[in-house]
């Protein structure tokens, strides 16, 4: 065969300015580093995303499944113009954010996945990627969607995003919201933080190795409990299911 099929399947990435690492202090007094992760380190992220597929709360399952696919797509050269930023505390993975460039003037936010919670790490990650789109890549606008109420509250309300409901978002075809340069400038002083350059020792610790998250989200005690709770406030179905599972275990 003279045609190398891989050449056709593999998208050609547009030149994108690399993300310059920054760091900030968390409420705990620890420093979190935001840095870009390239293809070679993607497998290190994947192994920490995989367990979250089974966390049926706060839409971790949906988001983890999609992030896994996006990261794998990037790693295998099946995703065009994607970038991935990792947030690390003492080297430990604390959050992953990613997005992609649609056109040189239009960015698209993919996901924000927080592996450590309660310290606004996800919010810092989201702010960092918006800053990357607007300031570094020079996009006029970034398309955003939320898959969880937490995300909706953070992005749509805190950033006062504009509706772009005529544009179906790449994630599931749902109506898009947009962060424009003007909106970003309005919230910049309040929501976007970080210091550069990152002190050498902190950066070195982050670059050395992506360590596993120390306290990642775990599945709820009962499978499906979180999703069902909305419809089954009395939990009859939940108890029933548990009986069936126990019965099944005895039979087996």
Q: Work out how close the CB of 21 gets to other proteins at its nearest, in angstroms, rounded to a whole number.
A: 15
CB of 243 to other proteins, least distance (A): 14
Give the number of residues in contact with other proteins, rule: CB under 8 A: 36
For residues 32 and 29, give the distance between their C-alpha atoms in angstroms, rounded to a whole number. 10
235 binds other proteins per the rule CB under 8 A: yes
Q: Residue 93, SS3?
A: strand
Site residues for other proteins, 1-30, by CB under 8 A, read: 24-30
12: DSSP letter: P
Of 212, 239, 218, the closest CA to residue 47 belongs to 212
Binding mask 77-106 for other proteins (x = CB under 8 A): ------------------------------
Query: For residues 22 and 87, what is the distance between their CA atoms, to the nearest angstrom?
Result: 10
The sign of the CA dihedral 193, 199, 202, 204 is positive
Of 84, 62, 75, the C-alpha closest to 18 is: 84
| Among 36-44, 80-88, 129-137, 188-196, the segment contacting other proteins (CB under 8 A) | 188-196
Q: How far apart are CA 148 and CA 243, in angstroms?
A: 31
Alpha helices in 95-139 (DSSP H): 121-131
The answer to whether residue 34 forms part of the interface with other proteins (CB under 8 A) is: no
* 143 close to 107: Cβ distance less than 8 angstroms: yes
Residue 178 CA to residue 34 CA, distance in Å, equals 23
* Closer by beta carbon to other proteins, 42 or else 130: 130
The answer to whether 62 contacts other proteins (rule: CB under 8 A) is no
User: Is 226 a binder of other proteins (CB under 8 A)?
Assistant: yes
Residues 146, 171: contact at Cβ < 8 Å? no
Quote the least distance from Cβ 232 to other proteins, whole Å: 9
Using the rule CB under 8 A, which residue among 53, 72, 207, 238 binds other proteins?
238
Nearer to other proteins, 61 or 222 (CB): 222
Candidates 18, 149, 172, 175; binder of other proteins (CB under 8 A) is 149
Shortest Å, Cβ 22 to other proteins: 10
Q: Which is nearer to other proteins, 42 or 144 (CB)?
A: 144
Pair 31, 23: CB distance under 8 Å: yes
Closest approach of other proteins to the CB of residue 127, in Å: 8
Which of 43, 175 has the CB closer to other proteins? 175
Give the chain's end-to-end CA distance (angstroms, integer).
Answer: 53
Report CA dihedral (94, 209, 66, 77) to the nearest 10 degrees. Answer: 150
The binding site for other proteins (CB under 8 A) comprises 24-30, 57, 118-120, 123-124, 127, 149, 153, 157-158, 160, 190-195, 220-222, 225-226, 229, 233-235, 238-239
């Amino acid at each position: 065969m003279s045609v190398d099929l891989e050449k056709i399947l593999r998208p050609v990435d547009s030149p994108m300015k690399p993300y310059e690492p920054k760091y900030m202090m968390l409420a705990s007094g620890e420093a979190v580093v935001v840095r870009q992760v390239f293809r070679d380190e993607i497998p290190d992220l994947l192994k920490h995303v995989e367990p979250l597929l089974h966390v049926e709360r706060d839409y971790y399952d949906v988001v983890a499944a999609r992030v896994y696919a996006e990261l794998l797509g990037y790693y295998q050269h099946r995703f065009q113009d994607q970038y991935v930023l990792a947030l690390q505390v003492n080297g430990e993975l604390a959050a992953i954010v990613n997005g992609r460039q649609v056109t040189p003037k239009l960015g698209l936010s993919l996901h924000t996945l927080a592996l450590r919670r309660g310290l606004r790490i996800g919010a810092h990650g989201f702010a960092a990627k918006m800053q990357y789109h607007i300031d570094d890549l020079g996009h006029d606008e970034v398309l955003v969607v939320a898959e969880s109420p937490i995300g909706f509250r953070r992005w749509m309300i805190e950033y006062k995003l504009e509706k772009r409901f005529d544009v179906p978002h790449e994630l599931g075809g749902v109506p898009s919201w947009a962060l424009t340069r003007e909106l970003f400038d309005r919230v910049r002083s309040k929501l976007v933080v970080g210091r550069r350059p990152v002190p050498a020792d902190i950066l070195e610790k982050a670059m050395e190795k992506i360590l596993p998250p120390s306290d990642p989200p775990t599945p709820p005690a009962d499978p499906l409990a979180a999703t069902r709770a909305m419809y089954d406030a009395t939990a009859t179905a939940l108890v029933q299911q548990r009986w069936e599972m126990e019965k099944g275990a005895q039979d087996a």
